[in-house]
Amino acid sequence: MLKMAIITGFLSQTKDRFHQYNQPLDLAEKFALLRQIEGYQGVEIVYPYEVKDPQATRQLLQAHDLSVAAVNVNVKAEPEFRNGGLTANDPAVRQRAVQFIKEAKEFAVAVGADKVTCCPLGDGYEFAFQYDYAKSWRNLVETFGDAGDHCREIPLFIEYKPSETRGRCFVDTAAKALCLLKDIQNPSMGITLDFGHSVYGNENPAEAVALLAESPYPYYIHINDNDGRWDWDYFCGTKHFLDYVEFLYYLKRYDYQDWLTSDTSPTRWDIRGTFEANSRLTQRIWNLLDRVDGGRITGLMERGDYLATWQFIETEIFGLGSGDG
């Protein structure tokens, strides 16, 4: 059975520019709802806006028999982070952003989590000549390096994203995230790979897995889907089914053991049904690869005859049979 978790903010009310979806729930109600959703054993909780009290959080986790996949630290919503937190020109603002991450690490220790993940969405730009790129990069190295060095027993994972809330985020690709970790030189740091961020950033998510898995740094996975133009957080396989199969294939190939966390927004669809679609499809593809692969896909790729590979996909992945009957 795969280790699957949900970002708990999606279990409650969400909104876009025009509408609100679902009913607001407190943390206990979110955890109770999650326990009704088949296939999940873990949560990714958001600090400091969703959780602040480690003792109360730990009691709720124990009461609902849940594990923490990650503590997600939000460094974008405070007014002073509007023009960037970790890369702000004002050193006091940068230090406040670092302090948020340090406090999240201390919270993670207190609740028994094994990682903190941070997506620096407020750090980026919109226009030409808006920022000094080299200075901004040095600020990222300094601030993430300082935060990552605190409570090293809790690794800090950096989640990359092409855009939002900025027109272009400074950490927008897997390769750039790896460059950042290479400059920081802290082995107790990693990268969060979100399938949808990779897709709409014009990456191949499976290739990104290989890139990260071949690096010295650990990685952690968020699952969802989108149309390649924006981060819609649809449920898995609805737009990029074969890409998702290849993504899971590479996770299996590299013996990924960490959580697969649903970063998926139900909006117009039933919350329980949406997340069960994620777990059901993911587990079925995982099991299918166990049955049909056994090294065959690697062999086909090594042969270099993609027509033969495609026939395997038709019959074994799509289940279309031989076409004779």
pLDDT above 80 (res 60): yes
- Let me know: does 259 contact 3? Beta carbons within 8 Å: yes
178 closest CA partner among 139, 149, 142, 218: 218
E-only strand ranges, 99-201: 116-118, 124-125, 156-159, 168-169, 189-194
285 closest CA partner among 228, 230, 246, 321: 246
Q: Taking residues 225-235, report their average pLDDT.
A: 97
pLDDT number for residue 223 = 98
pLDDT number for residue 1 = 81
pLDDT number for residue 322 = 67
Q: Taking residues 198-209, report their average pLDDT.
A: 98
pLDDT above 80 (res 323): no
pLDDT number for residue 119 = 97
pLDDT number for residue 321 = 81
Query: What is d(CA 183, CA 64) in angstroms, rounded to the nearest whole number?
Result: 41
Q: Taking residues 127-131, report their average pLDDT.
A: 98
Largest CA distance in the chain: 71
Q: Taking residues 141-164, report their average pLDDT.
A: 98
Element (DSSP H or E) covering residue 232: none
Query: What is d(CA 165, CA 144) in angstroms, rounded to the nearest whole number?
Result: 19
CA distances from 236 to 4, 107, 187, 190, 270 (A): 13, 31, 31, 24, 15
Instruction: Say how many C-beta atoms besides its own lie within 10 A of residue 291's C-beta.
Output: 8
Confidence band of 190 (pLDDT split at 50, 70, 90): very high
Query: What is d(CA 100, CA 147) in angstroms, rounded to the nearest whole number?
Result: 9
The percent of residues above 90 in pLDDT, for the chain, comes to: 96
Structural domains of the chain in order of their starting residue, each with its CATH number: 4-292 (3.20.20.150), 293-325 (no CATH)
- Let me know: does 90 contact 96? Beta carbons within 8 Å: no
Tokens of 121: 């969405």
Q: What does the pLDDT look like over 66-110, one tens digit per residue?
A: 999 999 999 988 899 999 999 999 999 999 999 999 999 999 999
Tokens of 87: 């890369």
Q: Please state, rounded to an integer, the average pLDDT across all residues of the chain.
A: 96
Query: What is d(CA 33, CA 56) in angstroms, rounded to the nearest whole number?
Result: 18
Classify 40 as helix, strand or coil: coil
First to last CA, the chain: 35
Instruction: Say how many C-beta atoms besides its own lie within 10 A of residue 62's C-beta.
Output: 10
CA distances from 68 to 6, 41, 107, 141 (A): 10, 9, 12, 27
pLDDT above 60 (res 325): no
pLDDT above 60 (res 324): no
